[in-house]
Homo-oligomer: A and B are copies of this chain.
Amino acid sequence: MIDRLTRAIREIGNPTALGLDTRIEYIPEDFAVPYYKDGASVPDVISAFNSALLEGLRDVIPCVKIQAAYYEMLGPEGMSCLKKTLDAARCLGYVTITDAKRGDIGTTASAYSSAYIGETAQFPSDFITVNPYLGIDGVAPFLEDCRKTGRGIFALVKTSNPSSGEFQDLQSIDGRRLYEHVADKVSEWGRDLIGEEGYSSVGAVVGATYPLQGAALRGRMTHTFFLLPGYGAQGASASGLAGCFGNDGGGAVVNASRSLICAHQKSSTHKGGFVAAAREEAIRMRDCIREALKHARG
């Protein structure tokens, strides 16, 4: 899958993931009302909105990241909506990432892994995000499924939020910060899962909001693919991202959620509707990243 991700990004020419952190408040009323009139529920409307975006962006975006929390908060019906959205994305050929940040002790981690990246996964995803706080035996069951199914994980290394440093930046007695310890372990865990394109199925989440740390991690983790959240609404810029990419201009995918799915809210008179607004923003973002990568590589 990691090769598929690299190739999909290359083919479409855009290292962006469409972040479907969809909340009902984001959906234009004129889109939602007819569904409600037909007796649809909130998760139904979200499924329809997601599908419309996925269909409309297929030729400009290779990858989708679905934030599990927004579906979970809607209960079992929300989880059906997550499943439907994953199905829709897969049918359209997107590489799919479920952003669930799961992590538990061994036997329980196996259950999470089987839910998302196992052979008979109920929420089948090409990748799942994983929290490494419990150490290797919370991650090993995911690695086992990576080996069996070719799917992958992105482990949290340095997250994009303002307080990510509270624990992640703690300096240990050997001089390394906690996130550097985690980074080194993530590289190690992924060493025997490196694909033909040079990157491992064991990737890392590195907040685009910390460009200096991101660039340093890039040098430290040469075979690790980066998932970069924090672009747009969280404040990261394209120029700051460039250092997180490999010398080949690959090895990373930038997530954008609200800046794409809420693009229609920026201009209330957007005539083409939310899909056209998201497309326009996706193309603008793609061009910014391309420009920044060109600039960074001189």
What is A's interface to B at a CB cutoff of 8 Å? Answer: 21, 67, 69-70, 72-80, 83, 101-109, 111-112, 114-115, 118, 122-123, 131-138, 156, 159-168, 170-173, 178, 181-182, 185, 229, 234
Question: Which residues of chain B are within 8 angstroms of A109 by Cβ–Cβ distance?
Answer: 69
Question: Which residues of chain B are within 8 angstroms of A79 by Cβ–Cβ distance?
Answer: 72, 75-76, 79
User: In whole angstroms, how far apart are the Cα atoms of A181 and B136 in the complex?
Assistant: 21
Sample 29 A-B pairs with CB under 8 A, ordered by A number.
A21-B107, A67-B111, A69-B111, A69-B112, A70-B111, A72-B112, A72-B115, A73-B115, A73-B118, A76-B122, A78-B122, A105-B229, A105-B234, A131-B131, A132-B167, A134-B159, A134-B161, A134-B164, A135-B166, A135-B168, A137-B161, A138-B159, A138-B161, A167-B178, A167-B181, A170-B178, A171-B172, A172-B173, A173-B173
Contact across chains for B173 and A105 when beta carbons are under 8 A apart:
no
Contact across chains for B159 and A122 when beta carbons are under 8 A apart:
no
Contact across chains for B73 and A167 when beta carbons are under 8 A apart:
no
Contact across chains for B104 and A69 when beta carbons are under 8 A apart:
yes
Question: Which residues of chain B are within 8 angstroms of A136 by Cβ–Cβ distance?
Answer: 163, 166
User: In whole angstroms, how far apart are the Cα atoms of A166 and B140 in the complex?
Assistant: 13
Q: What distance in Å separates the Cβ of A123 from its nearest Cβ neighbour in chain B? A: 7
Contact across chains for A111 and B161 when beta carbons are under 8 A apart:
no
Q: Contacts A79-B76, A83-B75, A135-B168: A69 and B173 contacting too (C-beta < 8 A)?
A: no
Q: What distance in Å separates the Cβ of A292 from its nearest Cβ neighbour in chain B? A: 23
User: In whole angstroms, how far apart are the Cα atoms of A160 and B105 in the complex?
Assistant: 8
Contact across chains for A104 and B105 when beta carbons are under 8 A apart:
no
Contact across chains for A106 and B75 when beta carbons are under 8 A apart:
no
Contact across chains for A135 and B72 when beta carbons are under 8 A apart:
no
Contact across chains for B172 and A73 when beta carbons are under 8 A apart:
no
Question: Which residues of chain B are within 8 angstroms of A105 by Cβ–Cβ distance?
Answer: 159-161, 229, 234
Contact across chains for A163 and B178 when beta carbons are under 8 A apart:
no
Q: What distance in Å separates the Cβ of A163 from its nearest Cβ neighbour in chain B? A: 4
- Going nearest first, the 7 A-B pairs with the smallest beta carbon separation are A135-B166, A75-B122, A135-B163, A69-B111, A105-B161, A73-B115, A76-B80
User: In whole angstroms, how far apart are the Cα atoms of A67 and B110 in the complex?
Assistant: 12
Question: Which residues of chain B are within 8 angstroms of A166 by Cβ–Cβ distance?
Answer: 135-136, 185
Question: Which residues of chain B are within 8 angstroms of A107 by Cβ–Cβ distance?
Answer: 21
Contact across chains for B131 and A133 when beta carbons are under 8 A apart:
yes
